[in-house]
Structure 1
Amino acid sequence: MNSLSKHLLTGLLFAAGIYGVINGEFIISSALFAITTYTSSINKDPKD
């Protein structure tokens, strides 16, 4: 996963999570925030 696609995926999931909180979908938004945390911690190179 290159850097741009990683940042786009993280940003979109975070925005969807915020949208879910605003609309009261707390379980779905919690899952989206968990996925956002996972994708933001993926290293580009496994050696790092």
Structure 2
Amino acid sequence: GAFITSALLVTLCGVTGSFERIVRRLPASLAAALLAGILFRIGSEIFFSSQ
């Protein structure tokens, strides 16, 4: 049930264009910080697993 509900919501956001409007309102610095946090976590996991 949850997968179908989330799939419908994602599809609805894509079809109506509401996701694009939300992303446009997001400040570039905040988007960069979110991306940096994700990349830092991935990089640190790779680093620690190689030791």
**Common fold, TM-score beyond 0.5?**
no
Structure with greater contact order relative to length (CA < 8 Å, sep ≥ 6): 1
Q: Which has the larger radius of gyration?
A: 2
User: Shorter-chain-normalised TM-score: which range?
Assistant: 0.3 to 0.5
TM-score of the superposition, structure 2-length normalised?
Answer: 0.42
TM-score of the superposition, structure 1-length normalised?
Answer: 0.44
